[in-house]
Structures are given as structure tokens and as C-alpha cells.
């Protein structure tokens, strides 16, 4: 794992500790196929990969969406969707609740509460707002 990836994992763990007791409403999302033609590193044996695609109301991919974990704050180390709307984040294998926030100027923020118990793939639809 590169330095930026290690920093991202450290930030994720800090966010998880900060939000562990906070209850957030569950948000439903659509399951998406796990196929991807973008070369990404394979997660290590101690990590689960949460990934997916972000689309708009017309089903078109949305590039540059900030994927926030924990508090709804987008920083330079947060993952962003690529030109095909795809994103991923590798998290330590632990049954933990995570709060995800998908943000991009011109769109309504989408919040999602996930209990990580395995690798998972999501399709997120952002609406303009």
C-alpha cells in the first residue's frame, strides 16, 4: 500500500472511532455488478473492498464525486469517482458500521449507512440540486 493509501486507512479508522456510537438512518442503494475495466490494486487479505459506481438521474456516470467516510467532510485524501463514475475504498476486515457521504457541487449529498461484513458493491444515484 502506498503512503496515500495508508493515510486514507488511518483516517478511516479515526472516523470510525469518532462515529461508532452515532446512529445514522439506513439508506437504501441499488446493487451494482462488480465488473470493472479500471486496473486497481487488489485489496490485501486483511481488507474488504467497498466499491461501486455513481450515476445521475439519466444513468450517466458522475465523475469527481467525493466519497467521504465518517463526518461529511471532503478533503484532499478522500477518494473521487473516475470518468466512469467508479470508486473504491479498502477497509480493515471487521464488522463495523460506516457512514458514507457522496458529494459534488451541483448535486444533492447522498448519505449511506453500511455495516461492513464482506466486500460490497453499490450503485449510487445522485440527483441535481
Enumerate the domain spans of the chain. 3-35+44-125
Would the pTM of this model clear 0.85, i.e. be above it?
Answer: no
CB 111 within 8 A of CB 72: yes
% of the chain at pLDDT higher than 70: 69
In the prediction, which pLDDT does 39 show?
55
Higher pLDDT pick, 7 / 86? 86
Q: Which tens digit of pLDDT belongs to each residue from 2-61?
A: 443 333 433 333 333 333 333 333 333 444 444 445 556 787 788 899 999 999 999 999
Burial class (CB in 10 A: 0-12, 13-18, 19+), 4: exposed
Span 95-121, average pLDDT: 94
Class of domain 3-35+44-125: mainly beta
CB 126 within 8 A of CB 54: yes
In the prediction, which pLDDT does 123 show?
97
Amino acid at each position: 500500500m502506498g503512503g496515500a493509501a495508508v493515510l486514507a486507512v488511518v483516517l478511516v479508522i479515526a472516523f470510525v472511532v469518532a462515529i461508532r456510537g452515532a446512529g445514522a438512518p439506513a439508506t437504501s442503494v441499488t446493487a451494482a455488478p462488480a465488473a470493472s475495466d479500471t486496473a486497481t490494486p487488489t485489496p490485501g487479505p486483511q481488507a474488504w473492498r467497498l466499491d461501486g459506481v455513481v450515476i445521475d438521474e439519466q444513468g450517466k456516470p458522475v465523475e469527481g464525486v467525493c466519497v467521504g467516510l465518517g463526518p461529511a467532510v471532503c478533503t484532499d485524501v478522500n477518494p473521487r469517482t473516475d470518468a466512469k463514475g467508479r470508486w473504491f475504498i479498502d477497509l480493515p476486515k471487521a464488522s463495523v458500521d460506516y457512514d458514507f457521504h457522496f458529494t459534488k457541487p451541483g448535486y444533492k449529498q447522498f448519505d449511506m449507512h453500511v455495516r461492513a461484513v464482506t466486500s460490497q458493491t453499490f450503485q449510487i444515484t445522485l440527483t441535481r440540486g
